[in-house]
Amino acid sequence: MNIEYYKNFIKIAELGNISTAAKVLLIAQPSLSKQIKILENEFGTALLKRNARNVELTTAGEIFYQKAKLICELNNICHDEIHTSIIGNRGKLKIGITISYPDWYIEDLFKDFSDLYPYITYDIREDSSDQLMKLLRQGIIEVAFIRTPLHINPIFMSFGGIEENFMAVYHKKNPWLPQDVESISISQLKNVPLSISHGFRERVEQMFNEAGFEPNILSINASRTTTLMWARMGKAVGLITTDSFKKLEIVPTLICRPITGVNTVAQRSFVTLKNANLSAVTKAFLNFATEKTIF
């Protein structure tokens, strides 16, 4: 396996033209074409469909393209981890976090860790909890800070974390909830259209089922920003979590109140693959982070 051939194939697939890829890669076009021929001979099938102007991936080519990207990513990770083992706390932290803005806990955590280890760099992937656990399985990241699932796969280990209150965010002129209250009960949200993020769906459904009714979900979103968009339009009540709702920068037309009832507290935890061979940088980060968690 020649990793350079894999990298060059990725570039051809992304540009859709061998000649253009050759110019970008500073490789003679005949040499690049020869590399493709070697790969096709190795796998025993065509990887590209050629026409007068461009090239397209065959079915086999699409499979190879996706796997080649993963192999190249893992190759980079391998180099980084070996480099880290040699130079100590000067490597790269590969971490995944859920999309949750603003996030004061993570912001403070990264700031304090960076102050302590100024020569560490970061590769931060922001995605849903499910996608971050997929990246953990693939070895793209070593640790993820996610919404703690109700049922975590036994191949993962979770530890440390924070507790956050569920909050109802709604427009002042909404037809469902009052303004002059300190909190909102689960029962007050019956039949009210809700806007939530994907990571909360299972937890929200459990919370409402325990209250005796199904949630009326209008929109399931990828981020807190979109969740709050529906609240700003007055079309739904946004359900978010935070460890301090007083810090939330809510626009003047919105109201934020804690939700009361059974299981209205959510958790976020650090997750790694069980028995994973973690880099020195990740171990240092986890030791640092768990000292600042509440459970």
Q: Domain containing 201 — which CATH number?
A: 3.40.190.10
Question: What is the model's pLDDT at position 91?
Answer: 83
Domain encompassing residue 285 = 84-161+267-290
Question: What is the model's pLDDT at position 86?
Answer: 60
Quick one: how far is CA 203 from the chain centroid?
A: 18
Per-residue pLDDT of the chain (295 residues; tens, 9 = 90+): 889 999 999 999 999 999 999 999 999 999 999 999 999 999 999 999 988 789 999 999 999 999 999 999 888 888 877 766 665 567 899 999 987 655 778 888 999 999 988 889 999 999 888 899 999 999 999 999 987 765 678 899 888 778 888 999 999 999 999 999 999 999 999 999 999 988 788 889 999 999 999 999 999 998 888 999 999 999 999 999 876 555 555 678 999 999 998 888 888 889 999 988 888 889 889 989 888 765 5
CA atoms within 13 A on the CB side of 139: 16
Threshold 0.85, pTM exceeds: no
Residue pair 113/289 in contact (Cβ under 8 Å)? The answer is: yes
My answer on whether 134 and 274 are in the same domain is: yes
Question: What is the model's pLDDT at position 130?
Answer: 85
C-alpha pair distances (Å), 122 with each of 4, 100, 106: 25, 18, 13
Nearest-angstrom CA–CA distance, 270 and 145:
4
My answer on whether 147 and 224 are in the same domain is: no
* DSSP string over 272-289: EETT----HHHHHHHHHH
My answer on whether 169 and 256 are in the same domain is: yes
Tokens encoding 248: 């939330």
ω into 118 cis (within 30 of 0):
no
My answer on whether 77 and 37 are in the same domain is: yes
Burial (CB < 10 A; 0-12, 13-18, 19+), residue 195, is buried
Question: What is the model's pLDDT at position 88?
Answer: 53
* DSSP string over 58-73: -HHHHHHHHHHHHHHH
Looking at the domain assignment, is residue 295 inside a domain? no
What type of residue sits at position 217? I
Domain boundary residue among 26, 47, 82? Answer: 82
Q: How many domains does the chain have?
A: 3
Looking at the domain assignment, is residue 93 inside a domain? yes
Looking at the domain assignment, is residue 168 inside a domain? yes
Nearest-angstrom CA–CA distance, 261 and 212:
12
Looking at the domain assignment, is residue 77 inside a domain? yes
Looking at the domain assignment, is residue 242 inside a domain? yes
My answer on whether 178 and 152 are in the same domain is: no
My answer on whether 76 and 199 are in the same domain is: no
Domain boundary residue among 33, 60, 82? Answer: 82
E strand or H helix that includes residue 30: helix 29-43
Residue pair 155/224 in contact (Cβ under 8 Å)? The answer is: no
